[in-house]
Amino acid sequence: MPELIGIARMAAQSALMEAKSQVEYFEIGAHSILNRTKPNMPFRWTINPYRGCEFGCQYCYARYTHEFMGMPDGRDFEFKIYAKAAAPEILRRELRGIDRADGIALGTATDPYQPAERRFARTRAILEVFAAEKGRRLSITTKSSLVTRDVDLLCEIARRNVLAVNITVTTLNRRLARLMEPRAPRPDLRLGAVGTLAQAGIITGVFPNPILPMITDSEESLDALASAARQAGAQYFGGGPLFLMPSAQKIFFPFLESRFPKLVRPYKRLYAHSAYLGPGYKEELRARLARIRERHGLASAPVDYRPEQWAGEEQGTLFPL
Ligand code: SF4
């Protein structure tokens, strides 16, 4: 067996914290919490309090992150969850070294409010660090209504920092959501979380990502989703098509074969040469989303503002749409 190095060795040495049904939870050391993104991203840094994600979405692009830990079977990503140790201490130190204006995104390769968070509260510990900061620009992305547990902290953060919470809802159809996102909260629970956050004055939006060709991309289905998002209190409605790299295809294509067999060939054609869809599809989708946003009075992204422009008021009431 080859000698394990780096993160693969750390994963192999991680202490088991808990095992329930098929899922095992480990604690893993971390050298760093802030990860720098590629230059064309809307944020400079990402934070992922966990490695792996129990929600197990069939299309999840982040499965490749377990490959770095010596786990090439894409399903390990759902069943071996690693909570990062000493994250707040490391984060406090790393924040001192970066520009306050840099965008920081929490939850890009794992869901920060997946079931592990109920027990291990690593996301909450990270938010406590931000609650003591000012002038930072933080966004959080989740599919979980558990985010409402932290409303107190989120309000605290929003008083002195720029904060936006993106709730991902891909479809209103519960059955379809269960198939695609087997262990994530129901769409109505996620929209309920949008309402709770919006009422608390937190800038909140809905992302229907990833938008799946021929499954969730019809104007009718996206329009119904945008309407429900607006009613719940969302201020913006983002949207981008499915990105399907080879590690994600390993899980997604068998899923299509079992649930949407007629779509296997069209999908294989669409993703034959790249993990990205071509400009024609993207342009059409962009125009569709623009029409939908226009109809429902939704922005495409959180309103941009500087925290020093406001003093004391809640964010959401300062920038009504
Ligand atoms: S919630 Fe996000 S990180 Fe978790 S499995 Fe689904 S797509 Fe992947």
Specify the pTM: 0.90
Convert the pLDDT of each residue in 150-175 to its tens digit: 999 999 999 999 999 999 999 999 99
Distance of CA 111 from the midpoint of ligand 1 (Å): 6
Region 295-320: mean pLDDT is 67
Q: Which of 233, 223, 191, 201 is nearest to 293 (CA)?
A: 223
State percent of the chain over pLDDT 70.
90
Q: What is the pLDDT of residue 309?
A: 47
Instruction: Reply yes or no on whether the pLDDT at 274 is more than 70.
Output: yes
Q: What is the pLDDT of residue 17?
A: 63
How do beta strands 80-84 and 50-51 pair?
antiparallel
Helices first, then strands: H and E counts in the chain: 14, 11
State percent of the chain over pLDDT 90.
80
Distance of CA 106 from the midpoint of ligand 1 (Å): 13
Rounded distance, CA 302 to CA 162, Å? 10
Q: Give the CA-trace dihedral at 200, 203, 204, 209, to 10 degrees.
A: -160
Tokens (6 digits) for 313: 């008021």
Region 13-20: mean pLDDT is 62
pLDDT band at 321 (very low <50, low <70, confident <90, very high): very low
Protein residue whose Cα sits closest to atom 8 of ligand 1:
60
Distance of CA 54 from the midpoint of ligand 1 (Å): 8
Candidates 111, 117, 169, 180: which one to mutate for ligand 1, based on the most atoms within 8 Å of Cβ? 111
Within 6 Å (CB) of ligand 1, which residues are found?
53, 55-57, 60, 62, 110-111, 143, 181, 184
In our burial notation (b when 16+ CB lie closer than 10 A, e otherwise), range 276-293 reads: bbeeeeeeebeebbeebb
Candidates 57, 146, 212: which one to mutate for ligand 1, based on the most atoms within 8 Å of Cβ? 57
